[in-house]
Amino acid sequence: MRAHRVRALLMGGQACVFYGAAEFSRDTDFAILADAKNLSRLRKALNELSAGPIAVPPLELKFLRKGHAIHFRCRHPEAPRLRVDVMSKMRGVDSFGQLWKRRTTLDLPGGEQCDLLSLPDLVQAKKTQRDKDWPMIRRLIEANFFGNRKNASAAHIRFWLKELRTPELLTEVARSNPKVVKLLLSKRRLLGFALAGQIEDLSAALTIEEAIEREKDRLYWQPLRKELEQLRHLRFKK
């Protein structure tokens, strides 16, 4: 991707590994810029990987801009059977331009670099209807909390108050930062339970919060799934 100057950000399970929340993943997921020049560069990168499409939809801008994921399987001897998934638009996630500005760039052994979704953007992208994503969100934020709690910045504290899903840790942060809680309370009402130390009520509210996000994601994907079924039907007829 970098060799062909593809404007792409690593996300999904592989990105979670870099953020300290290890997850076994068979896929390599990218958020990409959906424009003609970037798509041309992406095609060259996929050709070098000997990557062919899996299922539908095809690699076209109109499908990327609607929010579809497009899937490929690599046949290159150095990446046999590796699956590559690309997306450009995700529910509740900012435009690619904003994601790119906030990206995390890591230096890898051997002098290579890797561009990732920022941690807050990765957490937002993980708020899906899939069962496996919610424990991962919790682990991602816990890893960030334990890695930064001794030298926490104002940005860390706001992030934890907005996103922590571990009742005990959320209560700890809230009771240590009551002024910040008051500023955020209108956006996340369950912080009131955290500030009061009401762990049982907080746990129940977190469960409800998750259920609401899952339902939003289900509704978001309904028309996209319907379109996929139509594309599968057309391909079968051909």
Tokens of 203: 């746990």
Q: What is the pLDDT of residues 60-96, one digit of tens each?
A: 999 999 999 999 999 999 999 999 999 999 999 999 9
Predicted structure pTM score: 0.94
Dist. CA 217–CA 173, nearest whole Å: 28
Asked, as a colleague might, if the bond just before 57 is cis with ω within 30 of 0, I would say yes
State the pLDDT at residue 22: 73
Q: Name the band, by pLDDT with cuts 50, 70 and 90, for residue 100.
A: very high
CA distances from 153 to 132, 177, 217 (A): 30, 12, 31
Q: What percent of the chain has pLDDT over 70?
A: 98
Q: What is the pLDDT of residues 182-227, one digit of tens each?
A: 999 999 999 999 999 999 999 999 999 999 999 999 999 999 999 9
Q: What is the mean pLDDT of the chain?
A: 95
Task: Decide if pLDDT at 238 tops 80.
Answer: no
Query: Worst-scoring range by mean pLDDT, 20-24, 91-95, 117-121?
Result: 20-24
The answer for 196, left when phi > 0, alpha when psi is -120 to 50, beta otherwise, is: alpha
Q: How deeply is 150 buried, as exposed, middle or buried, from its count of CB atoms within 10 A (0-12, 13-18, 19+)?
A: exposed
E strands, the chain, are 8-11, 27-32, 51-54, 70-74, 83-87, 104-107, 113-116
Dist. CA 9–CA 18, nearest whole Å: 13
For the chain, give every domain's residue range.
Answer: 8-125, 133-219
